[in-house]
Structure 1
Amino acid sequence: MYAMNFLKKNIFNVLFVAFLLVIVLVPDAKALLLKGLMQIGFYQPNVSTQEKMLSTNLEGIKFKNVKGELVDLGDLRGKVIFLNFWTTWCPPCRAEMPSLNKLYQTFKTDKSIVFIFADADGELAKASAFMRERKYELPVYRVESEIPEQIFKGTLPTTVIFDKEGRLSFHHEGMANYADQKIIDFLRKLKGN
């Protein structure tokens, strides 16, 4: 009887604690909450502060896809490179995936932009299954070489964009809404139209 009275008096507190536990313990629940925050305007990528382009030697920075094909960033000179580091267990990574997929759909037939979604754990089978289950078409890769800290320090997710000359034009640690028109316009500007 006492337990029922306590529960009735504290139902809001019990529900709040249960909600917090779900958010903390279930990655998809946390990702859903973060995705909602992105949709109402939080976590917008800031391309306006990316004025200073840093020169980067991309030679020897390699990634491998599920087909075993090796990509060396140095060989992609003349193309804009959109590189995203993520993992399947990372809630912020999961939260930004729908916006990344939407951005990819916008440019997937554009041969002047290359998208690389690098699973930081290097588990291509697991990452590919994750993409299939969620009906994302993002090209999944695994890191096959050393990555300079200027590009990736280990923070997940991390997104970098290189211009056609291989200069680091955008660097963002943490999640963001990449379906934002500012990013679309930024990529179009980098590719030259």
Structure 2
Amino acid sequence: MMMSSNASSTLFATTATATTVKSVHSSSSHSSVAGTGIGSLLTRIQGAFSEAMSNSPKFVIDKRTVEKTWKLMDKVVKLCQHSKMNIKNSPPFILDLLPDTYQHLKLIYSKHEDISVLNDNEYFRVFIENLNKKCKQTIKLFKEGKEKMFDEVSHYRRNLTKLSLVFSHMLSELKAIFPNGIFAGDTFRITKSDAAEFWRTSFGDR
């Protein structure tokens, strides 16, 4: 079912002319304000990214990190397998998503004997860091929800479904960026000009 290591067990006017002039002026003003607003928003986002990247300690991919990731994933699976959880086997099904993520990560590791290559891959490093965070967030949800986790209409179960959806998107992205376990991220390009410009300004050639 799941893992084969020690962690194994079982991711939003007065005249027509005046009216026309007013309308054009208003439209122009709104466009200008909207443009300024978007520009300001992008600047703030860029600043937030830059600050986060400069202040956060670099996440390292090594044997210890790998084993920690396995254990966190395994713990989430065990919590979700509790008989009272009664999680329905329908997408996004976390009891399939995490084992599938584990298997694809194993495939990636098998293609990279030198783990430092994966550590140098910024996308992979960020992926594993986020996977760890989401697993910890799920475990925390169970600790806080306690018996309410067994109630399918509770706030905690809705949050678990949201996290399951996140794990689903993460797995799909991982398989797209690492088809057959080999990195193919450098073959992708952003086709929308505004998004591409934002990416270049924020991250350069990465």
| TM-score, scaled to structure 2 | 0.26
User: Which one has the bigger helix percentage?
Assistant: 2
User: Which one has the bigger strand percentage?
Assistant: 1
| TM-score, scaled to structure 1 | 0.27
Q: Which has the larger radius of gyration?
A: 2
